[in-house]
Structure 1
Amino acid sequence: MRIRSAVLTLLAGSLTLAGCGSNPDAPVGNLGLPGWVMQPEVEDGLAETACVPFSGHLSIDKQQATAMARSGIAQQISVKVKAMDKVYNRRTDTAGGRDIGANFESVSKQVTERSLTGTKATKTDIFDIDRKRQLCTMVTLEPEKTKAVFENILADSGRQLDPQDEAVLYEEFRAAKAQQELEKELSR
């Protein structure tokens, strides 16, 4: 009977934790802010949240937070492209030759600027952070637009890839490894 009770307790606890993990509005971390603020994400897309001091001018504060979050998405794209470029160079080195021409990084800035017009503010709210009111906005680049960013970078680079290499590079572009490199660069 005790074992059954313990198993039920563990199962209930697991379900509670799983439920919290899937709710972007559930508080996360010591600040008690929702997940979309602390760990912004959109499935197979890009997301970033920025917070600014709330001045009482909602539209101005929202514009500033949105611009900062868009800048964060641009930085994510840049880091992902750097990781993708490293993988491509490694693959061409092992295939017996180097590709001559534009690298992905050289075209990523232009593509990123064009792509940011596809971002949208998906959540906005006001929170007390360290006893100061902050307006936070989450900006996302949806999956189909994220794929389009990748395709535009490939097209603008002028590189001809076989489908297998393209699939590998797209996975690298989407990979958590690129996100880890972004976090490492931000912590410098």
Structure 2
Amino acid sequence: MVACERQLLGLALACIGFLGSIISCALPTWRIMKTFRDYEMPFSVVEGLWKRCGISPTGEMQCMGYEYMLLPADMKAARALIIIAIIIEVLGILLGVAGRNFMNFVPDERQRSKMALTSGIAFLIAGFFFLIPVSWTTNTINDHFHPTWSTSGLAHLLLKKMELGAALYIGWFTTVLLFLGGGLVCSSFFRRNGTE
């Protein structure tokens, strides 16, 4: 594959990853906690980076934003890392577009190839910044994934179960796209300079 095509494909994958990171950040379904009682329908609570929603057995959803002090520590860290990743992705996209061969923002070919390499490195760094909170949240959920039974009253059993939300699956897909896009953009730099 020609270096120009690699760079374009990498930039396209990174742009799709950018959209995925926006969606993953906005969705309120990072963690799903289902509560079962032995005599009732399940009640679910979904948690995201920005709000927590309760879903009743009838399907009615009520959401409310977090008070900053009540936001769990892992969600505070995830929120910060994902916002940093999105900012880095925007910078990577801007550098990638400016470093394209058919663009004339920078007339010097050497400077354009350096901008393309910097763009690829930015996508890889953004991928790491996105990987950390997604992995951390998944690990936290897996620690609590096994059902725990406890008694409330005399004969009522209560089961709480945590599950992965849709935003985490989108986050994993986004991470893969950012790594692939960054790798392709970086490899186009080495191929263009004849060192491959």
Indicate the TM-score class for this superposition, using the shorter chain for normalisation.
0.3 to 0.5
Q: Which has the higher contact order (CA 8 A, sep 6+)?
A: 2
User: Which has the larger Rg?
Assistant: 2
**How high is the TM-score relative to the length of structure 2?**
0.34
**How high is the TM-score relative to the length of structure 1?**
0.35
